Amino acid sequence: MELVCLAGFSMDVYCLYAMSSDKTKANFRKREPWATLRFVLLALTFADIALYLAGISVGQPRYTRMFRPFMVIARRRNIRIVFASFLRALNDVAVILALTLCVVLFFGLMGFLLFADSSVILNVPYFATLGDSLYNMLLIQSCLPVMMSVMLPYYIRSQWSALYFVVFVLFTNFFLVKLTIAVSYRRYKRNTEKMLYKRLQKRKIALNKAFDLLSDDLLDDAIQRTVTLDAWLAVCRYLKPTWTAEEAKVVFYSSDMNQTNEVNLTQFIQLSSVLVNATVTRRQRRQSLFIQGMKKWQNKTRNVLLAQTTVWGYPVIYMEVFVGFLICLSVVQATQVNNYALTNSLNHTWRLVGMGLLSLFTVEIALKLFAFGSVEFFNRPFCKFDIVVATVGWLFYAMTSLIPAFPVVFYDLALAIRSLRVLKVLNLIPPFHNILWTMNRIIPLIGQLFLVILSVVYVFAILAQANYGQLLARFPESLKDNASTWYIHKEEFRLDTFENCLVTLFEEATLAGWNSIMDALFVVTESPNTLVFFFTFRITISNILLPIFVGFLVESFSSNQKPAELEEVANEKTLTVVPGTMPPSSNDPGAEIMPPKRVKYKMSFQRRTSDVQSAMFDFSSNKIQVDQYERKVKELNLIVHAKNQELAALRAQLDLLQTQTKAEDVESSSEAL
């Protein structure tokens, strides 16, 4: 299976190289760095497999298995962006980490000088030597629960010793770690704005090139170049083949307000933005009686579903309150359907109640789909989730009812999934509504961040299994007194299989006695590399990945906040197209001009973006005019600078000629004398 996956990755890299242009192939390493990385990882993996099959001891642990998640990261564009942001943030985080290590070294040395004598008197090893002092201070910084056991003997002897530990914890865990979050936030925001700015510049360059290609060639440069309606129709026939000519004109006239049948560069940039996001629908003037009746019932149903009142200044929708009551009742039903203290008849009754609630939820979905239409329905919050809940509920209910051998646990799973609709109740509260709306926007980023963190944990799990799996499985009984803390829970903390490695490392990341397994392995190996491995994992998780994760989330959460007044950018315009007033076709010059026929079209333009993206991709008229003005000022400044240089060169030549003339006059006067 691994060879099949590797062959698939290899074919993917080869296809990317084969479909590239000759210019890209010549500079493939620079133009496609992620594809080059995948090629290197594949080469190392195949070499490792060859060594493993040949029986060479170097390839026995198969360390190249740690490359697997990074092949996936290098393949997906969005994950690559997040991973690259992680790598860029490491530059600043490394400075904070170095500062943290310097603080640990300083406090370790201070602790050795302050508590070395007390350690000998109290017969405790925490600060007896400089190495023990540094080890325990690093342990406290990585795992705060250890501080109490280290501090207690010295606190009993002198209560003033607590100041030493309190100052250390405040400075490292409550200042430097939070500083790491701030640095990650700043770096991620800066990289995001820089990336968006580069994308904006590329887009502007592409639009300028397109404008030059579509605009008419003019002999007089003083006349402003424009793009005509015919050129726009040709573009729409290629890019929007489903649009009719009249629909393309509707979009064109949204920028050409005066209907001059031509647009300048500013209007063309706006028009290009509308081309991607515009939806044009034709309004039928005469509809059948059945459609008119359905429209009336649709409007009535919509008004009933959206009927609301105001409570304490907040809008409250009656139907959502009723649905919230049903959701709360479904949560109660989910807790009582498996209550074995109830009789069999009551249990059956609660199961029927669950079927009734599921039927009501299905009716709710059908009414919303009828009232809002398919497009608006799937863009409304929680509607997609409601469909998934209803589908899973009916599927598992039917299977558990019709197939007696089908596990009932799937019905319980459907109840648990249906209980998640309690988020819809929280959505009724305006503060929770804004938070859930923003969370829905950043869920893809959260998944990508988790994948990057999981990839790093995957690497450490491979190394832990290869180096310490068998050592921990064959732990000698004679050394159990030196690792009693781990030996009591040895069935819980194991590294013999990859699954156990992932569970154990997750427990270490959550501070579940993480130093016990490290001490047990150090007793067996007696190598400082063991301490380096576990401290590296703990510092990587707690001091690097998690602060960066929080910093990225804070920046993404702040840039994707829901606007206070306007929830989404949406402009709807109804334009009247009069195709009969157009001149007759050149193919039929004798054709008569038909009387004007007014056709109503509705154009909706919608783009939902974050605040940063909205600011960077602002193509409004004022913004474009300001950009053009600034670009014109820069061009004029460059021209003035070039003219000044030419003037300076002419002055230098003039001074040189004057100097030569004076020298010749002096020579001629001396000869005359």
Q: How far apart are CA 264 and CA 228, in angstroms?
A: 9
Taking CA atoms, 521 is separated from 131, 268, 460, in Å, by 18, 68, 16
Q: For the whole model, what pTM was predicted? A: 0.65
**Choice among 171-175, 436-440, 578-582 with the minimum mean pLDDT:** 578-582
Among residues 295, 292, 226, 212, the alpha carbon closest in space to that of 256 is found at 226
Q: How far apart are CA 187 and CA 103, in angstroms?
A: 24
Q: Report yes or no: 381 and 440 within 8 Å, Cβ to Cβ.
A: yes
Domains of the chain listed by start with CATH number: 207-280 (1.10.238), 289-397 (1.20.120), 429-572 (no CATH)
Is the pLDDT at 150 greater than 50, yes or no? yes
Is the pLDDT at 50 greater than 70, yes or no? yes
Residue indicated by tokens 């342990």: 139
Among residues 32, 361, 133, the alpha carbon closest in space to that of 124 is found at 133
Among residues 144, 148, 176, 178, the alpha carbon closest in space to that of 514 is found at 144
Is the pLDDT at 283 greater than 80, yes or no? no
Q: Is 233 exposed, middle or buried (0-12, 13-18, 19+ CB in 10 A)?
A: middle
Among residues 34, 40, 42, the alpha carbon closest in space to that of 9 is found at 42
Q: What share of the chain is helix, strand, coil (3-state, %, to 5)?
A: 75, 5, 20
Q: Which residue has the higher pLDDT, 458 or 488?
A: 458
Tokens representing 288 are: 């059948």
Which is it for strands 278-283 and 308-311: parallel, antiparallel or unpaired?
unpaired
Tokens representing 166 are: 């309190």
pLDDT given for residue 288 in this prediction: 72
Tokens representing 474 are: 């064959």
Q: Report yes or no: 233 and 256 within 8 Å, Cβ to Cβ.
A: no
**What number is the average pLDDT over the span 576-597?**
44
**What number is the average pLDDT over the span 216-221?**
62
pLDDT given for residue 293 in this prediction: 82
**What number is the average pLDDT over the span 652-667?**
83
Q: How far apart are CA 652 and CA 659, in angstroms?
A: 10
pLDDT given for residue 216 in this prediction: 72
Is the pLDDT at 78 greater than 50, yes or no? yes
Task: Collapse the DSSP code of 242 into the 3-class scheme (helix H, G, I; strand E, B; otherwise coil) and give the result.
Answer: coil
pLDDT given for residue 218 in this prediction: 61
**Choice among 236-245, 303-312, 498-507, 619-628 with the minimum mean pLDDT:** 619-628
**Choice among 163-167, 293-297, 367-371, 569-573 with the minimum mean pLDDT:** 569-573
Mean model confidence pLDDT for the chain: 77
**What number is the average pLDDT over the span 21-46?**
81
pLDDT given for residue 261 in this prediction: 85
Q: How far apart are CA 131 and CA 154, in angstroms?
A: 18
- Tell me the residue type at 230: D
pLDDT given for residue 430 in this prediction: 67
Q: Which residue has the higher pLDDT, 78 or 493?
A: 493
H or E segment and range at residue 263: strand 262-263
**What number is the average pLDDT over the span 108-134?**
87
pLDDT given for residue 562 in this prediction: 56
Is the pLDDT at 201 greater than 50, yes or no? yes
Q: How far apart are CA 240 and CA 242, in angstroms?
A: 5
Is the pLDDT at 568 greater than 50, yes or no? no
- Tell me the residue type at 136: N
Residue 2: phi, psi to the nearest 5?
-65, -40
| 60 confidence band (pLDDT: 50, 70, 90) | low
DSSP sequence for 129-155: SHHHHHHHHHHHHH-TTHHHHHHHHHH
Q: Is 150 left (phi over 0), alpha (psi -120 to 50) or beta?
A: alpha
pLDDT given for residue 595 in this prediction: 44
Q: Which residues of 310-347 are buried (b: 16+ CB within 10 A; e: fewer)?
A: eeeeeeeeeebeebbebbeebbebbebbeeeeeeeeee
Q: Which residue has the higher pLDDT, 211 or 313?
A: 211
Among residues 174, 175, 165, 176, the alpha carbon closest in space to that of 139 is found at 165
Is the pLDDT at 52 greater than 50, yes or no? yes
**Choice among 133-147, 449-463, 625-639 with the minimum mean pLDDT:** 625-639
**What number is the average pLDDT over the span 50-62?**
71
Taking CA atoms, 277 is separated from 108, 274, 401, in Å, by 61, 5, 47
pLDDT given for residue 576 in this prediction: 44
pLDDT given for residue 594 in this prediction: 43
| 286 confidence band (pLDDT: 50, 70, 90) | low
pLDDT given for residue 285 in this prediction: 59
pLDDT > 90: what percent of the chain?
A: 0
Q: Report yes or no: 83 and 33 within 8 Å, Cβ to Cβ.
A: no
Is the pLDDT at 599 greater than 60, yes or no? no
Q: Report yes or no: 236 and 269 within 8 Å, Cβ to Cβ.
A: no
Helices 161-171 and 77-122, axial angle in degrees (round to 10): 170
Q: Report yes or no: 505 and 516 within 8 Å, Cβ to Cβ.
A: no
**What number is the average pLDDT over the span 538-553?**
80
Q: How far apart are CA 471 and CA 465, in angstroms?
A: 10
